[in-house]
Chain A
């Protein structure tokens, strides 16, 4: 009975290889598709300015930083032979926000503050990569900016998209704490120097002072006596979040999992939130929105390292749509309505996950409401899951919404109103926050009372004990 035909063997072998290959590639791409995340931009700056410039005239502008350092740019007349009107954007930013991806030349140390300048044509918004004449840049630094750097070696550098290059005519004036150079290219600039031979060696010597080398000489805040007058402006450390939610929806911003601010989106679903009074350090910010029916979006999380004295801008946020279904059970062959809210006129992709994943498309209306009727005859009897995501053009793409389930069965059962006490809401106040955490923590590693055991089954993992899995479920449904 055994088939010893080599052609048959080859056929079986090739078949197995191709099935294996298909399975592997399917897994990889399925994973890639499922893990697609929303795109947003994070900008960190101390100061930022934008100016429209008539290029037939000279132009000078100063960008001042909260710590007293500054940056001057000087454009000569007719910097562009075309004489077009241009827009200048310049900002200062902490060293670490630049050098993480653009490593310093070996043996060099950089001043604490970097600068970015860019020009666009007012007529069409296109970027200008170079000028016909050189512009003059002047970097004014403070002693603390160049801590540990040999001041006399300071030189202006420009990132040329692959490496830092010194600007040829860069000069330093140590008496006025300034570095001057000219350039015809734009992008990131910084002032670099050699390592100071003595600062950091543990002894306060040579020209070191408490301001130029606090590592060795200590901070200047000690007893100095005398002086007085002149107020100190404390630089503001803040973060701004902006993007799209749903028209007129409430957006909540969580700082380290606790509500820090709320706002209402405008009719076009745009929102902006700002919080200040932060310290320098690692924060986990999250945003979510609530639609016109009280359904909440999934939590969108941003781990951000905040620089003291700088403003961090997180823009391009696109909060995932909300999602609901009209039936908890649908008779196989009937339609089930999948609906929710997103930004107005957004392309909505609805995914129904069964053994195969089905995708449907619809467009939200002017209020951001979307509706997709899914034909249940495409899927088998049993429990199925659905989620949605939104996009506007090719630029703004949200993450996936929460995942909700429905059953395909033999009858239609309308979906009830959302339960007053949702998953992980232990005190039933429709918020999952520190109170619920504390209630769960009370029972952590304890034997549960009869009443709490039923609560654990209903709103947590249902394994009859409170452990890390229950806290993970709570962290997923967190609202702050």
Chain B
């Protein structure tokens, strides 16, 4: 009897070791290859015509992540996408900016150089309007999240859906779309001129990127000019809306280049690149205007002198 009790105790001990080992193993796997993409909103019940904001957050769960590509699916019959807000995002460079790629699908891809390892990384927000009553879910599919390991190793991604219901009654809740007071211009930035035989037939192109910590970048505009300008006096008509990379019009690189980043609140930041090969003095038409003017004055003076001087001498 005692022997069987002892055997039971020994077996229990081994079972305990087995369970503990299994837990440790699961714990280990959980921390080696996983990340979570979460869709977060203040509530899950909305009224018809009410607008609400859903944030996409990245929890790297201890891993160092440097690239992500995601598609978000939403029921177009229930929701209308009003706006995408990517200001203050952890994504430094968008390969594809978040946008509606198809009806009911929002897609994006981007990178975080050097990697990112946090639990609440803000990627972007989507503002929806509830169109009609019903139940639905916003889901992430085709998510790729890659490790910062120099090989682009994919990690398993947990993607719980965001369930919601829309009713005719509008719940009395605080505003569910964050009001962003943005008075700061986009971040300072330095555009760079480059050329490469593999792109744009080897033509010179301009690369630029910055971030806006408030409302996000709305667009960029470029002005190429052979003379230095007072940017405050320049009218918007002379700026050309552009995206990076931008093939330069002046392939001789003799122009001043002005790049303006404008955020969604209208704040501006302008970066200036002086010409790589400044104009020689004889290429500057202002010099020629001055020379011609001086020449005209001298010739006129000489003629006047001859005309009046000659009369007097007679």
Binding site for B on A (CB under 8 A): 13-14, 17-18, 20-21, 23-25, 27-28, 31, 35, 219, 254-258, 277-284, 286, 299-301, 303, 403, 423, 426-427, 433-435, 437-439, 441-444, 449, 451-452, 455, 461, 468-478, 480
Known: A20-B18, A442-B199. A279 touches B152 (CB 8 A): no
Q: Contacting A20 at CB < 8 Å: which of B21, B109, B147?
A: B21
> Which residue on A lies nearest to B27, using beta carbons?
A28
B53–chain A nearest beta-carbon distance, Å: 17
Shortest Cβ distance from A431 into B: residue: B192
Q: Is the CB of B211 within 8 A of A471?
A: no
Q: Is the CB of A461 within 8 A of B198?
A: no
A27-B25, A255-B187, A299-B113 known; A21+B69 contact, CB < 8 A: no
A468–B205 CA distance with the chains assembled, in angstroms? 23
A437 vs chain B, min Cβ distance (A): 6
Tell me, in angstroms, the Cα distance from A443 to B198 when the chains sit together: 9
B209 touches A475 (CB 8 A): no
B209 and A434 form a contact (CB under 8 A):
yes
A219 CA / B182 CA spacing, docked (Å): 13
Question: Would B198 and A452 count as touching, CB distance under 8 A?
Answer: yes
Closest to B206 in A: A438
Q: With a CB–CB cut-off of 8 A, which chain B residues contact A31?
A: 28, 31-32
Give the interface segment out of B115-123, B229-237, B253-261. Answer: B115-123
How many B residues face the partner with a CB closer than 8 A?
A: 67
Known contacts A35-B62, A439-B198: A284-B92 contact under CB 8 Å: yes
Q: Does residue B297 face the partner (Cβ distance < 8 Å to A)?
A: no
Known contacts A14-B14, A461-B152, A473-B151; is-contact A426 B21 (Cβ 8 Å)? no
Bound-state CA distance A477–B187 (Å) is: 24
- B67 near A282: Cβ-Cβ < 8 Å: no
**Is A427 within 8 A of B213, CB to CB?**
no
Q: How far is the CA of A28 from the CA of B25 in the complex (A)?
A: 7
Residues of B within 8 A of A474 (CB): 111, 113
Q: How far is the CA of A283 from the CA of B111 in the complex (A)?
A: 14
Task: Give, as a whole number of angstroms, the nearest-CB distance from A78 to chain B.
Answer: 48
B187 touches A24 (CB 8 A): no
Q: Which residues of B contact A (CB under 8 A)?
A: 14, 17-18, 20-22, 24-25, 27-28, 31-32, 62, 64, 66-69, 87-90, 92-93, 95, 109, 111-118, 121-122, 144, 146-152, 181, 184, 187-190, 192, 194, 196-200, 205, 207-209, 211-214, 244-245
Given contacts A286-B114, A438-B205, whether A303 and B198 have CB atoms under 8 Å apart is no
Inside 8 A of B196's CB, which chain A residues have their CB? Answer: 426-427, 435, 439
Residues of A within 8 A of B199 (CB): 438-439, 442-443
- 9 pairs from A and B in contact (CB 8 Å cutoff): A28-B27, A256-B187, A277-B188, A281-B214, A282-B122, A303-B121, A426-B196, A427-B196, A472-B148
Is A24 in contact with B114, judged by CB distance below 8 angstroms?
Answer: no
Known: A279-B213, A438-B205, A476-B148. A21 touches B92 (CB 8 A): no
Task: Say yes or no: A27-B28 contact (C-beta < 8 A), given A21-B21, A279-B187.
Answer: yes
- Say yes or no: A435-B213 contact (C-beta < 8 A), given A24-B25, A473-B151, A476-B148: no
A441 touching B115, Cβ below 8 Å: no
Contact (A258, B198) CB under 8 Å given A434-B209, A441-B95: no
Question: Most chain-B CB neighbours within 10 Å: which of A257, A299, A303, A472?
Answer: A472
Contact check, A284 vs B116: say whether CB atoms are below 8 A apart: yes
Cβ contact of B115, chosen from A444, A476, A480, cutoff 8 A: A476
Give min CB distance, A88 to chain B, whole Å.
34
CB-CB under 8 A from B87, the residues of chain A are 281
CB pair B197 A284 closer than 8 Å? no
Chain B residues whose C-beta falls within 8 Å of the C-beta of A434 in the assembled complex = 93, 192, 207-209, 244
Contact B188 A25, beta carbon cutoff 8 Å: no
Q: Given the complex, which residues of A lie within 8 Å of B64, measured CB to CB?
A: 301
Interface contact B113-A478, CB-CB below 8 Å = yes
With contacts A254-B113, A475-B111 known, is A24 near B90, CB below 8 A?
no
Q: Judge whether A468 and B18 touch: CB under 8 Å.
A: no
A28 and B151 form a contact (CB under 8 A): no
Q: Is the CB of B150 within 8 A of A468?
A: no
Q: Which residue of B lies closest to A286 (CB)?
A: B114
